[in-house]
Amino acid sequence: MDRETREFYDGDPQGYSDNTVECDVSDILGRFASHLNPGSRVLDLGCGSGRDTIVLRSMGFSVVPVDGSQGMCLTAERNTGDAVRRLDMLELDYEGEFDGVWACASMLHLREGEIPRALALVRRALRDGGVLYVSFKDGTFSGRRDGRWYTDMTPGAMTTALTSAGFVATDVWHSVDRRGTVWTNGLFSKGRAGTDRDK
């Protein structure tokens, strides 16, 4: 994320946590979990308050939470009781370590030109056959809202971006949150090694 977006989250991380802790993403978590085996290792990419890390762990997964905001990392540590690594998604250094990557409302803070690099790093972090969940606000807007950078995506744009990065689309759908915001959600899998992209 860019400096202004990071400063937004660093400025009042507890306030953001309090504002989002009641968001119900149980249906989406269930869809994601249905593609994982018990005990699977999951990267919570842009974990924010740690809300989803807690739920994923309660479902029996081994979860590694990371976030680009130091303030959010400290808040997530208080909420989860575990260390949270400060790591920008453009600096991901994992390789073949995860069965799933959960990127709920996090990659949307990247500029459009940064998304292909982030997806390449996510793909590298996944094991063959691993699954990625990703979400963006629905639409074509790209710019700053309330001090944060946003890149919105339609289902078509998301599918194009992810398949261009070597992922296989499993499911792409819309959802509406409690504020009436429409989201574009996607589940994508990493194909087996041995394709031209992997050589």
pTM: 0.91
How confident is the model over 45-72, as pLDDT tens digits?
Answer: 999 999 999 999 999 999 999 999 999 9
Q: How far apart are the C-alpha atoms of 118 and 112, rounded to whole Å? A: 10
- Of all residues in the chain, the percent with pLDDT exceeding 70 is 90
Q: What one-letter code names the amino acid at 91? A: E
Q: How far apart are the C-alpha atoms of 130 and 45, rounded to whole Å? A: 15
How far is residue 82 from each of residues 22, 53, 63, measured CA to CA in Å?
Answer: 21, 10, 11
Map tokens 């990247």 to a residue: 110
Map tokens 């990625």 to a residue: 132
Candidates 184, 26, 18; CA nearest to 105 is 184
pLDDT band at 24 (very low <50, low <70, confident <90, very high): confident
pLDDT band at 196 (very low <50, low <70, confident <90, very high): very low
